[in-house]
Structure formats: structure tokens, C-alpha cells
């Protein structure tokens, strides 16, 4: 099936006879594979008598060689999957199997992609980026302080490098474009955080997606913001380069070195917000972040800091 997809990915018409010859199968077998592509991957394929078959839109498939071509320096080892439950889950499995970090896990589609607080992450085939970087962390908790915020900065700068202008950060793990979510970040930890552990940096970026009724919040995509298709292999290479640079700074200087620049990029700085944890809600004004990446809020005239994986920040209706 994937051999057929590679033949069709250019978005041009291909006759059933030519496809069958290239695959070494009959035209009826080609027809069955086409039906499978449509139903399994939710792809639209045009069928025109006398011309053949054509994908409704060209596909830019992930390839290790293409990523390496764009990379500056030595790229991380990369595992690319056509379909997987979740790139973060696969990263955790590879750690358990003894795979040496750092390494990357990418997928064309996730069947069980997830975001923070267990929310599903919609993952259509070959449209977006599902990216998990696995790192070994030595030296204890300091190496983890503010890590997700540093990843957010690296993603924001990557999007800016691709021509997106109105992008910024929302505490703790979101990147917004024109006020709408374009990226989610999910960090997962395994091992002893006080000694040696591994962390999986999961990043989902809406890249070429143009419409999806499954998403229950306002969202944006790189294609929608920049007005053109984005080469996802190029995106992987630039994002990896940005992460290498920022993670190196974080290892050397800690999150305190990023505090001011993160606050400058925080879209809700100085805004009235609600901090939600389960059924409880704290009202305040967003002041920024502390040296460990916790949210600083002014609550009833008093500055307080908050941190934790189950917290969610929302704008107040009167903000």
C-alpha cells in the first residue's frame, strides 16, 4: 500500500496500467489498494476515465534522508512510522528496550495521539508533525526545571523561521498563532528524576492541515498562516536544530537564563486569567514565570507561583 502511495504522492495522474506495472500487480489489485488507502488513511483520490488516478493534494512524506539533507551538523537517529499509537509511547518503549538517547520518533499518523491531561491529539495522515525527542537527563531536577517552556521557545522560533509572524506562547505548553493553538507540547518522564532519567519531549504541530471537525477548540496551521505548503522534512530539521541550541543553553545555564525572553513571548502577560486545577479555579493577573518555570500570578494583590502538570490557564471573560 505504501509503495502505491509513494507513486501517487506527486499529485499527478497515473494510469492503473502504469501503477500495476510498477507494483507488479493487476489493475484490479491496484483498485483494491486504492480503496484501502481512501478508507484507512482518509485520503481523497480522484478517478478519471482515460487519465487514471490522482491524489486530491500532493503528499510530502517523512524520509530520514530528506531530513538529513536539510540538517546542519549531525542529525539525531530517527525512527519513522507510517502509523503508530503515539510517538511518545513509542519513545518510552524504545527506552525500555535499551535504545540509546538522544533519538527521534516521528509518525505520519497517530491512532492514539494525546496531549496534556489525557486529551486526544487529532493526528491525520501526512498533514502535521508528530515529533518525540528522547533525552537522557543526568544531574537531577535542575535539568528539568522549565524544560517544557524552553521547548515552547524553540518551537516558536522554528515557526518564525518559516515565515509565521503572529506567534507566541501560552503557559505552560502551548504555542499560539493569531491567538489560536498551533502546537501542543507533552513531556513524559521515566526513571529517577533525582539521579538519571529519560524525558520524552512530545511536540505536535499543525502543519498542512486545512480542516478537521474533530478538533474542539480554535486552531491554526502553518499552511493557513503562511499561505503555502510546508515541507515537513525541512521542518523536522529546523526544529531539531533549534532544540539542540536551546537545550544546550538550558543544560549550561538553567531556566533562569530564559525567563525574561519567555515572558516577552508570553501572549497573556499582564492579562486577567483563571488558573484551573480540576474543579478549583484561581483568578488573578499573569505576571510571568519564576526561575523554575512556574506561573507567577497576582492574586488579590499578592504574588504567588504555581506549577504542576494538571494546571490549565484560561483568559477571563472580562480580560
pLDDT in tens, 228-247: 889 999 999 999 999 999 99
Best CA proximity match to 21, nearest among 46, 39, 3 = 3
Active site residue 271: no
For residue 102, give the DSSP letter: S
The active-site residue, picked from 109, 170, 181, 232, is 181
C-alpha distances out from residue 162 to 54, 69, 157, 240, Å: 29, 17, 9, 14
Coil, strand or helix at 41: helix
**pLDDT digits 0-9 by tens, 107-149:** 999 887 776 655 666 778 888 999 999 999 987 677 889 999 9
161 φ, ψ to 5°?
-65, -25
Other C-beta atoms within 10 Å of 46: how many? Answer: 12
Active site residue 181: yes
> Between the ranges 16-20, 57-61, 247-251, where is the mean pLDDT highest?
247-251
The active-site residue, picked from 116, 157, 170, 232, is 116
| Omega before 102 within 30 of 0, i.e. cis | yes
pLDDT of residue 174: 92
Q: Is 98 annotated as a binding residue?
A: no
pLDDT of residue 11: 84
Q: Is 143 annotated as a binding residue?
A: no
> What are the cell numbers at 106?
516521528
Q: Which CATH class is domain 268-315?
A: mainly beta
Cα distance from N-terminal residue to C-terminal residue, the chain: 51
Average pLDDT over residues 201-227: 81
- Residue 268's pLDDT band, with cuts at 50, 70 and 90, is very high
Q: Is 27 annotated as a binding residue?
A: no
- Residue 319's pLDDT band, with cuts at 50, 70 and 90, is very low
Q: Give yes or no for residue 214 having a pLDDT over 70.
A: no
**E-assigned strand segments in the chain:** 45-48, 52-55, 78-84, 103-110, 129-138, 167-170, 174-177, 180-191, 196-205, 272-277, 280-289, 295-299, 302-306, 312-315
CATH topology of domain 2-55: Arc Repressor Mutant, subunit A (1.10.10)
Q: Is 183 annotated as a binding residue?
A: no
Best CA proximity match to 63, nearest among 51, 73, 75 = 75
Q: Report domain extents, the chain.
A: 2-55, 64-263, 268-315
pTM of the model: 0.88
Q: Is 117 annotated as a binding residue?
A: no
Buried-exposed string 23-33: b where 16+ CB fall within 10 A, e elsewhere: eeeeeeebeeb
Q: Is 88 annotated as a binding residue?
A: yes
Q: Is 284 annotated as a binding residue?
A: no
pLDDT of residue 49: 85
For residue 118, give the DSSP letter: G
Active site residue 232: no
Q: Is 86 annotated as a binding residue?
A: yes
The active-site residue, picked from 12, 93, 142, 314, is 314
Which CATH superfamily does the domain covering 64-263 fall into? Bira Bifunctional Protein; Domain 2 (3.30.930.10)
Coil, strand or helix at 171: coil
For residue 100, give the DSSP letter: P
Residue pair 177/164 in contact (Cβ under 8 Å)? The answer is yes
**pLDDT digits 0-9 by tens, 1-13:** 678 888 888 888 8
| DSSP symbols for 123-156 | --TTTSEEEEEEEEEES-GGGGTTHHHHHHHHHH
Q: How far is CA 92 from the centre of its chain?
A: 17
Given its phi and psi angles, is residue 242 left (phi above 0), alpha (psi -120 to 50 degrees) or beta? alpha
Question: In the chain, pLDDT over 70 holds for what percent of residues?
Answer: 93
C-alpha distances out from residue 13 to 43, 63, 137, 206, 222, Å: 15, 23, 49, 28, 27
Amino acid at each position: 500500500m505504501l509503495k502505491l502511495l509513494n507513486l501517487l504522492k506527486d499529485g499527478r495522474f497515473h494510469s492503473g496500467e502504469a501503477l500495476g506495472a510498477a507494483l507488479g500487480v493487476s489493475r484490479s489489485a491496484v483498485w483494491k489498494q486504492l480503496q484501502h488507502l481512501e478508507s484507512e488513511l482518509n485520503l481523497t483520490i480522484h478517478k478519471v476515465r482515460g487519465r487514471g488516478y490522482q491524489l486530491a493534494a500532493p503528499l510530502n512524506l517523512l524520509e530520514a534522508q530528506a531530513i538529513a539533507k536539510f540538517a546542519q551538523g549531525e542529525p539525531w537517529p530517527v525512527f519513522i512510522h507510517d502509523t503508530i499509537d503515539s510517538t511518545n509511547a513509542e519513545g518510552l518503549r524504545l527506552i525500555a528496550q535499551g535504545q540509546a538517547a538522544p533519538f527521534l520518533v516521528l509518525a505520519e499518523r497517530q491512532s492514539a495521539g494525546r496531549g496534556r491531561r489525557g486529551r486526544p491529539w487529532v493526528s491525520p495522515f501526512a498533514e502535521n508533525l508528530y515529533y518525540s525527542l528522547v533525552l537522557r537527563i543526568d544531574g537531577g531536577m535542575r535539568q528539568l526545571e522549565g524544560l517544557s517552556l524552553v521547548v515552547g521557545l524553540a518551537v516558536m522560533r522554528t515557526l518564525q523561521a518559516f515565515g509565521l509572524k503572529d506567534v507566541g506562547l501560552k503557559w505552560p505548553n502551548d504555542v499560539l498563532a493569531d491567538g489560536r493553538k498551533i502546537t501542543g507540547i507533552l513531556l513524559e518522564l521515566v526513571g529517577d528524576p533525582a539521579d538519571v532519567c529519560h524525558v520524552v519531549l512530545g511536540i505536535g504541530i499543525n502543519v498542512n492541515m486545512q480542516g478537521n471537525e474533530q478538533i474542539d477548540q480554535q486552531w491554526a496551521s502553518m499552511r493557513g498562516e503562511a499561505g503555502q505548503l510546508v515541507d515537513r522534512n525541512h521542518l523536522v530539521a529546523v526544529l531539531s536544530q533549534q532544540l539542540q541550541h536551546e537545550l544546550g543553553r538550558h543544560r549550561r545555564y538553567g531556566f533562569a537564563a530564559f525567563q525574561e525572553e519567555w515572558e516577552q513571548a508570553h501572549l497573556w502577560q499582564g492579562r486577567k486569567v483563571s488558573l484551573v486545577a480540576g474543579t478549583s479555579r484561581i483568578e488573578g493577573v499573569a505576571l510571568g514565570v519564576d526561575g523554575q518555570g512556574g506561573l507567577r500570578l497576582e492574586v488579590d494583590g499578592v504574588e504567588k507561583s504555581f506549577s504542576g502538570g494538571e494546571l490549565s490557564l484560561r483568559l477571563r471573560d472580562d480580560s
